[in-house]
Amino acid sequence: MTHPAPTRPDSPWLLRPTPRPAARLTLYCLPHAGGGASAYRAWPTGLPEWIEVVAVQLPGRENRIRERPAIDLAALAQAVSADHGGAPYALFGHSNGALLAFELAHLLGESGPGPVYLGVSGAPHPALLGARREVSRLGDRELVDWMVDQGGVPEQVSAQPELLELVLPALRADLGWLEAYRHRPRTALGCPLSAFAGETDERVPGDGLTAWSTETAAAFTARRYPGGHFYLTDGLPVLLRDMVEDLSGLRY
């Protein structure tokens, strides 16, 4: 007998690029600093039908542009918890989103079932972040130039002031959160953890990637791909292939 898929509450925090109500695993994806849910729009086409992508939409960007940009992990955890309803789920985040996913994994595990898998991309182990330049306090032009150098803003976008006015407040909020972030040693997560980075990403040195192994009591994998901090722009098919391999081997 076939049972209908559970009804999930609508939430401004969570968007489904391609709804897959029959999927057996939900993959919640968190964006880089200043990014929105659209960063994961293409992901479903590279993943099998048994994985449903749910992109996190933080306040102050895209369809939530009228809201004040902020990071509220407690509210996000509540939305994710209500959404998965106890069913198996995984977390993935890139750059700033990797730290958000890491903190979210701990927060969710403290109040209910934790994720069955955590993927962190483009971020060193939190304890190795060290002193951070206060980029969030730069002037608009300097901040845009910094983002272009990182590969996070196409040059054609940086030349359009009307678009930048929409992007910069969220970017500043995210960078401010990152600059204030301090790692707190905690019990290792019980789920497998995979760490990904570009081969030429100066933000993530070799030990910065492998040190993530200390954050899980389960399996750990570290992989690097051609490219820099935003290696997944061109290397997405290979990244998704490797993630499917990781997720296919899970037991839950």
What ranges in 40-139 are assigned the alpha helix state H? 73-84, 96-111
Q: Is 248 a catalytic residue?
A: no
Of 24, 184, 179, 151, residue with least CA distance to 90:
24
List Cβ neighbours of 1 (8 Å cut-off, separation of 6 or more): none
List Cβ neighbours of 66 (8 Å cut-off, separation of 6 or more): none
Of 69, 127, 137, 130, residue with least CA distance to 99:
127
Quote the tokens at residue 71.
């990071």
Q: Classify burial at 184, counting beta carbons within 10 Å of its beta carbon; exposed 0-12, middle 13-18, buried 19 or more.
A: exposed
Give the C-alpha separation, 205 to 199, whole Å.
9
Choosing from 38, 81, 95, 121, the catalytic residue is 95
- Collapsing DSSP to helix, strand or coil, 224 comes out as strand
Task: Say if residues 160 and 167 touch (Cβ distance below 8 Å).
Answer: no
Q: What are the catalytic residues?
A: 95
